[in-house]
Amino acid sequence: MVLLLTSACGSPSRLPRDAVIVDLARGVSRFRPDQAFGAVVDGLPAGRIAQVYTQANITALKRAGLGPIAYNLRTELGIEAWHWSNEGAWSDAKRQQGYWVGSDRPVRPVLMGWGYFLPRRGDSIDQANDVGWSRLDDGDRGTFWKSNPYLDQAYTHLPSSPQWVVVSFPAPQLVSAARLTWEAPFARRYEVQRWTGIDPYDRAGRWVNFPNGHVGAGAGGDVRLALSREPISVNFVRVLLEQSSHTSPPGSVDRRDAMGYALNEIGLGVTGPDGRFVDAMHHARSGGEQTNIYVSSTDPWHRASDRDSDTEQPGFDSLFLNQVTNGLPVLLTVGALYDTPENSAAQMRFLKGRGYPVHEVEIGLEPDGQNISPEDFAALFIQTADALRAVEPALILAGPGLQQAISDTWLDETADHSWTRRFLNGLRDRGHLRDLGLFTFEHYPYDVACGALDAKLIAENQSLAASAARLKEDGVPPGVPRVIIEFGLSALSGQAAVDMPGALFNADLTAQFLTLGGRGAYMLGYGPEQLFAPETPCAGYGELMLFGQDEKGRATWPTPAYWGARMLTGDWAQAGAGQHVIYAARAARPPAGKAWIVAYPVRRPDGRLAVLVVNRDPLHGHAIRLMTSRLVGTAPADLPGPLDVIQYGAGEYRWKADGAAGRPVRNEPPRRFSQSAKAVRLPPYSLTVVRTRVPIGP
C-alpha cells in the first residue's frame, strides 16, 4: 500500500496486513465536481474542427461526465497570432497588415478561428506544429526578426528590459567573428557573449563578453565584428540588446514599428586567412535544418497572407451554441506572447455582448517553455489583465499556464532560477499580484511512456507531491486556487494513452491533486482521434483521447481513459456542484516492496463514502480490506456492507498493437456488483470504486 496522508489510527500490529485505513476523523480537502473534472478544447489541423464537433460526437463526449471546459490556444504555442473572428481591422488597413483586432460586433456567426504565422519570428522551433523557422538565419535578406513592442517603456511604464538572441550550436564551434545585419529599429548598445556553463542549466555558468564583444555606439547596417584575436570554442552565443535606436522603417505609420529591436540576419564564425568571414551557422528556411535560434520575444505584427490554413480553433458561437461547454463557464485562454491586449479586450467585449458564460480567463500559455523571461511575461500579463478588466472588472484572471509546475530558467546567471517566483515577484512589484486569481500549469511527468510503466505510475505520486511543494516554495499565494490545465502520462503520442496505464494515471493524478488541495484538472484529448506514430518507437502508436474514430471522424470505440473518467465523475463523485470531502487513507502496514495500491476516500453529498482504489500491478491481483476509524485512537472496523463495487481492468479491456491499425479486441464497460465480504479483490492494472454508507462522527 502507498501512504497518502498519515494519521494515528488504532494499533497496526492487530490489523490485517492488507488493510487500507480510512480516517473519518478529519477531512483533508474539499472539491466540487463541476470544477474538478474538466476537459480541454484546443486548436486542430484543417478540417478537424468540423469533423470532431458534430452533434453525435458531442453527445458521446458528454457521457464521460467531464464538466468544465478549458479553451486552449494552439496558436500561442505555435508562435502565431490568433484571429478569433474572421471580421476585424488591421492597423495598416490599406495594406492588410500590422496588428489585428477582431470585431466585437461581427455580422456573421463566429464559427472558426485561425492562426497566422508571424513573419518577424525569431525562434527556430515552437511547441505546436513546428513548421516555421527563424528569420535570423534563414538566408533571406528580405526577412527579419523583431522583438515585441509591448515590452517597450511606452507600454510597460518601466525602463525597457534588454532583449536577446541566443544561437545554440549542436556541438562546440570555434568563433572569433560575427556578422550582424540590422533593420530599423537597430541596437545602439549591445553585447556579444558566450556561455561558460557545461549545460544550459549550470548554476555556475555565466555570460561572458567576447574580448571585443561590447558595442556602445551601434549605427545599424551590415556590421562585421572581430570578437577576439583567437577563436574560442562555444556552444551558446548571446547578443544582448540593451538600447534601441527607436527608429522606424521608411513609410511607417505605427509607433510600434520603432519599438524594440529588428535584426535581419546573424552569422558567427571565424575570419579566414584571406580576410573573408567563414560562417559556422547553417542558414535555411527550415527550423530543423538551420542552426537553432532562441529569442526573448517576437513582434505579433503579421499580414493577411500569413494565415496558417492548417491551424484552426473552434469558433465561439459554435462552441457555446452546440453545448460543447456543457452549459458551464469556460476557462478561456487569450494570447499574450503573440497577440495584443487590444485584441483580447475586443474578444471579451464580443463574449460579454453575446452573454456567453466566461468568468475566468487564462493569459498566455507555456511562457516558461518558450524562454521569455518571467519579468517580461509579467509585463505582458499586466497589460492584458488591465485591458480585460476594463471590459469586465469581475473577471478572474488565470495563469501563467506553466509547461510544468517545477519551472526553472535556462542560460541564466541570476541567483534566483525559479521562473515561477520571479514571475510572481514581477506582479507583486507592480502591485498586480491580486490580478492572479487562478494559478495554472500543465503536468506531463514523462517525456516518453516507454519501459516499466508500472514503476512510472508509482513514481508519479512523488512527482506530483514534489510539484505541489515546489509551487508553495515558489510563493504561489495560498489563497489562489490551483488548476492543472492539461495532463497526461506523456505529452507525446504512445500506446499507454489508449491502454490501461493511461486510465490509471488519469484517475490517480486527478484524485491525488484534489487531495493535495487542487481545484481541478483538465484532460487533454476530449474529441475522438486517430492513432499517431510515436516519436520514440518503443512508445507504440496511440494518442491522448476518449474515443477512437472512423474514417469520417465519428466516435467509435471508447478508450480506458473514457471509462476511467466516467468512474471518477459518476461513481466516485456525485455529479453537480455539491461539496465533496476527501479523507486521509493509509496502509495498515507500509509495504516493504512496491506500493502497488493507492486509495482515495471521499464523502459525497448523498451521504455515501466512496473509495477509489488503483492497482498499478500489471501482473497480479490483490485482495484488500477497507477499514474505517471515526476518531483518532479508536479501533478501525470493516466498512459496513453491502458494498457496491464498480471495477474496470484487463477483464474489460485488451489492446491489440498493430501500428496505426491498433485497436481494442476486448472493450466492455466496468463491472458492477455488490458484496458483503470484507475483502475486495483488485484485478491487475485496474480501477475500483467501493461505495457504502458510513456515519461520520462519534
- How confident is the model at residue 361, as a pLDDT? 98
Give the span between the Cα atoms of 410 and 254, in whole angstroms.
34
- Residues 547-604: pLDDT tens digits? 999 999 999 999 999 999 999 999 999 999 999 999 999 876 666 678 999 999 999 9
The amino acid occupying position 298 is T
In a domain, 558, yes or no: yes
Give the position of cell 541570476.
414
In a domain, 243, yes or no: yes
| Grid cell for residue 171 | 556541438
CB 252 within 8 A of CB 258: yes
In a domain, 271, yes or no: yes
Helix, strand or coil, per DSSP, at residue 352? helix
- What count of residues does the chain have? 698
CB 264 within 8 A of CB 144: yes
In sequence order, which residues have a C-beta less than 8 Å from that of residue 613 and are 6 or more positions away? 20, 597, 598, 599, 600, 624, 626, 680, 682, 687, 688, 689, 690
Per the structure, the complete domain to which residue 250 belongs is given by 145-299
- How confident is the model at residue 40, as a pLDDT? 96
Give the span between the Cα atoms of 698 and 696, in whole angstroms.
7
Q: Are 46 and 154 part of one and the same domain? A: no
Q: Are 540 and 681 part of one and the same domain? A: yes
Pick the closest to residue 201 from 388, 376, 464, 407 (CA basis). Answer: 407
Q: Are 31 and 156 part of one and the same domain? A: no
Q: Are 154 and 43 part of one and the same domain? A: no
Q: What's the CATH number where 18 sits?
A: 2.60.40.1180
Residue 303's beta-bridge partner residues? 97
Give the span between the Cα atoms of 476 and 400, in whole angstroms.
11
Q: Are 156 and 47 part of one and the same domain? A: no
- How confident is the model at residue 696, as a pLDDT? 63
Last-in-domain residue among 249, 283, 299: 299
| Grid cell for residue 571 | 461513481
Q: What's the CATH number where 284 sits?
A: 2.60.120.260
Q: Are 542 and 660 part of one and the same domain? A: yes
Q: Are 556 and 679 part of one and the same domain? A: yes
Give the span between the Cα atoms of 283 and 174, in whole angstroms.
17
Residue 132's beta-bridge partner residues? none
Give the span between the Cα atoms of 250 and 256, in whole angstroms.
14
pLDDT along the chain (698 residues), means of 10: 30 59 88 97 92 94 94 96 97 97 97 96 94 96 97 96 97 98 98 96 95 98 97 98 97 95 98 95 97 98 97 94 89 97 98 96 96 97 98 97 96 95 98 98 95 95 97 97 97 95 98 98 93 94 95 95 98 96 83 85 95 95 87 75 95 96 97 92 97 73
Q: Are 539 and 662 part of one and the same domain? A: yes
Give the span between the Cα atoms of 257 and 255, in whole angstroms.
5
In a domain, 325, yes or no: no
CA 53 to chain centre: 22
* Radius of gyration from C-alpha coordinates of the chain: 27
In a domain, 687, yes or no: yes
- How confident is the model at residue 16, as a pLDDT? 63
CB 484 within 8 A of CB 518: yes
HSE of 87 in the Cβ direction (CA atoms, 13 Å)? 10
In a domain, 502, yes or no: no
| Grid cell for residue 190 | 549591445
Describe the crossing of helices 453-473 and 500-515 by its angle, rounded to 10 degrees: 30
In a domain, 92, yes or no: no
Give the position of cell 580576410.
275
Q: Are 63 and 149 part of one and the same domain? A: no
Q: Are 60 and 165 part of one and the same domain? A: no
Pick the closest to residue 142 from 118, 119, 117 (CA basis). Answer: 119
- Residues 223-282: pLDDT tens digits? 999 999 999 999 999 999 999 999 999 989 899 999 999 999 999 999 999 999 999 999
User: What phi and psi, each to the nearest 5 degrees, are found at residue 71?
Assistant: -100, 105
Find the Cα–Cα–Cα–Cα dihedral 615, 620, 626, 632, rounded to 10°: -70
If one counts the domains in the chain, the total is: 2
In a domain, 603, yes or no: yes
- How confident is the model at residue 698, as a pLDDT? 43
Give the span between the Cα atoms of 297 and 624, in whole angstroms.
55
Pick the closest to residue 474 from 532, 535, 526, 409 (CA basis). Answer: 409
Helix, strand or coil, per DSSP, at residue 433? helix
Pick the closest to residue 130 from 80, 169, 72 (CA basis). Answer: 80
Q: Are 63 and 162 part of one and the same domain? A: no
Helix, strand or coil, per DSSP, at residue 652? coil
- How confident is the model at residue 7, as a pLDDT? 27
Query: CA quadruple 532, 534, 538, 539: dihedral positive or negative?
Result: negative
Pick the closest to residue 445 from 486, 399, 398 (CA basis). Answer: 486
Last-in-domain residue among 258, 277, 299: 299
Q: Are 158 and 259 part of one and the same domain? A: yes
Give the span between the Cα atoms of 86 and 94, in whole angstroms.
17
Give the position of cell 456488483.
673
Last-in-domain residue among 260, 279, 299: 299
